[in-house]
Amino acid sequence: MVHDGSSVVPDKAGLPDRCGNIGIPYPDLAMIPTCFREETSTFQLYRNGSYNLQDINECANPEKNSCFKNYCRNTIGSYDCYCPDHYDGNGINETEGGSGCTHSRKQAPVMPLIFGPSLGMLFLVIVSFWIYWVFQKRKLIKLKEEFFLQNGGMLLQQHLISCERSAETIKIFTSEELRNATDNYHESHILGRGGYGTVYKGTLSDKRIVAIKKSKIIDNDQIEQFINEVFILSQINHRNVVKLLGCCLETEVPLLVYEYIENGTLYSHIHSEHKYSLSWHIRLRIATETAEALAYLHSFASQPIIHRDIKSTNILLNNQYASKVSDFGASRLVALDQTQLSTLVQGTMGYLDPEYLHTCILTDKSDVYSFGVVLVELLTGKKVLCFEKPEEERNLAMFFVSTMKQNCLINVLDVVVKEGELDQIQEVANLAKRCLRLSGEERPSMKEVAMELEGLRLSEKHAWMEQNLEETEHLLVESPGSFDYSNAGYETITTKVNIGR
């Protein structure tokens, strides 16, 4: 019998009767079995003489293996020690001559495993958004180009090329410039609303403050006429006419950009609680400057311009109460089916020339009638239409003419106006009455109106100078002694010095 330390191999002459502590009967003497150590196997003997050796799991009991922290894998008749991921070593306890397990110095690639898919998704989202943004931007650019052509942009550019000076007087703004100037047309920038559209206050990139008019509707059949008007109006340069700085044609409805006038409309000053700040002297100056502006438009060199919609809300005032006529030609932007205060012949009820209303024939005398209504407004301080009053007083122009025929002017004058020179006021009232004649041929021209008002202003200045001269002479006559008036200032100083001593 040969012993190798782990098994007993019997020869045919005899078999061992034990395997470890277990007795083994061998019914078949021809068998040459192997006897395993009881530490790794369990022997099972059956009644029929057969037997079975079952493996023992050393990993189930830490005391039966030499693995570090029981990092053990069971095998048939034995076991293997190992180290988990991110550890170095052979997994055998140091007491058994092994190296155990220690943390690996190389960090595990946790971040890529966790964030890799997320970053991939984020990249796809960014790429998708970028593609969408590029698509939308191209779509917006194409839409702007379509609006530019639709609103007559090419025609305006041809006008600008043909006239070198026009390029200096008018600018074609981009929609982005005006959107930035108004904070995307925020309500806080609204200066006013009307039947024709909305006016916004804007600040350009060069810090200039402008008024931007955004109309509600435009008649596409009148685009060519609109462009011609913009071209002509941009060349107007008069101190009492609001300057048209440019336009924007990249929007659905063209935008007009004007110089900003800071002190509001004449209407707001006449009909507000602070209307008494407009003395008769200021009112006469406003009327004169407005008449001069209209006379300038009617005699404009390249093409006479008829305003069509003269009213107190279209006359702006600066901080020195200088008159600025605005919105001339703007009513042509409005479609003919607009209602409310606007009419089919383009104008505002109360200011509208009756002859123009009946004949639909527009002449410069239509502006004269509307200006006559403004004169009456300045004289009376009353609104041109008031349906709360008796029927004969609802229309200011008709009521004023009736009052003049009855020689009752003083009864309708504003309280502030009564403080002025009555003879001068009577002359202005007579002029207003002539402007309100039903027949346009019987009305004066705006040039005649402007000259007459300017004459009244000069006579007012002359009377004021004569009055001051008389008062000065009166004071000199009553003053005791005689003075060398060329040195009066010096003598006064000398006297004060002597008194001081």
The CATH number for 412's domain is 1.10.510.10
Q: Are residues 168 and 301 in the same domain?
A: no
Q: From the annotation, which residues make up the binding site?
A: 214
List phi, psi (to 5°) of 5: 90, -25
Which tens digit of pLDDT belongs to each residue from 212-259?
Answer: 988 877 777 778 777 877 887 888 889 999 999 999 898 888 889 999
Of residues 203 and 44, more confidently modeled: 203
Domain that holds residue 204: 135-260
Please report how the helices 364-380 and 422-435 are oriented relative to each other, as an axis angle in degrees rounded to 10. 150
Q: Establish if 253 belongs to a structural domain.
A: yes
> Rounded to whole angstroms, how far apart are CA atoms 124 and 76?
52
Measured between alpha carbons, how far is residue 160 from residues 168, 328, 396, 447 in Å? 9, 21, 44, 31
Catalytic residues: 309
Same domain, 334 and 426: yes
Task: Report the percentage of the chain scoring pLDDT > 70.
Answer: 72
Residues 285 and 319 in one domain: yes
End-of-domain residue from the set 218, 240, 260: 260
216 and 365 share one domain: no
Give the confidence band of 139 by pLDDT, cuts at 50, 70, 90.
Answer: confident
Sequence-separated (6 or more) residues with CB below 8 Å from residue 183: 189
Do residues 307 and 425 share a domain?
A: yes
Question: Is 124 inside a domain boundary?
Answer: no
241 and 311 assigned to the same domain: no
Annotated binding site for ATP: 214
Residues 385, 371: one domain? Answer: yes
486 in Cβ contact with 317 (< 8 Å): no
Q: pTM for the complete prediction?
A: 0.64
End-to-end CA separation in angstroms for the chain: 155
Q: Are residues 249 and 273 in the same domain?
A: no
Q: Is the pLDDT of residue 44 over 80?
A: no
130, part of any domain: no
Query: What is the distance of C-alpha 474 from the center of its chain?
Result: 63
Of 159-173, 349-363, 427-441, the poorest mean pLDDT is in 159-173
Conformational region of residue 22, where left means phi above 0, alpha means psi within -120 to 50, and beta covers everything else? beta
Say whether both 252 and 271 belong to one domain. Answer: no
Work out how many domains the chain is built from and give that number.
3
For helices 153-162 and 223-233, give the axis angle rounded to 10 degrees.
Answer: 40
The whole-number pLDDT of residue 80 equals 87
In angstroms, rounded to a whole number, what is the distance separating the alpha carbons of residues 125 and 133?
12
Question: Which of residues 240, 260, 280 is at a domain's end?
Answer: 260
The CATH number assigned to the domain holding 174 equals 3.30.200.20
Confidence class for position 143, pLDDT limits 50, 70, 90: confident
Domain-located, residue 330: yes
- Which of 245, 260, 275 is the C-terminal boundary of a domain? 260
Burial of 123 (0-12, 13-18, 19+ CB in 10 A): exposed
Q: Do both 254 and 282 map to the same domain?
A: no
Rounded to 10 degrees, what is the CA torsion of 200, 203, 205, 207?
Answer: 150
- For residue 187, being part of any structural domain is answered with yes
Chain centroid to CA 360: how far?
Answer: 39
CA 15 vs CA 8, 53, 405, 486: distances in Å: 9, 17, 157, 161
Within-domain flag for 268: yes
Cβ pair 74, 59 in contact under 8 A: yes
Q: What tokens appear for 366 in the block?
A: 């239509």
User: Residue 116 falls within a domain, yes or no?
Assistant: no
Same domain, 200 and 289: no
Instruction: Say whether both 422 and 463 belong to one domain.
Output: yes
Asked if residue 233 belongs to a domain, the reply is yes
pLDDT score for 75: 83
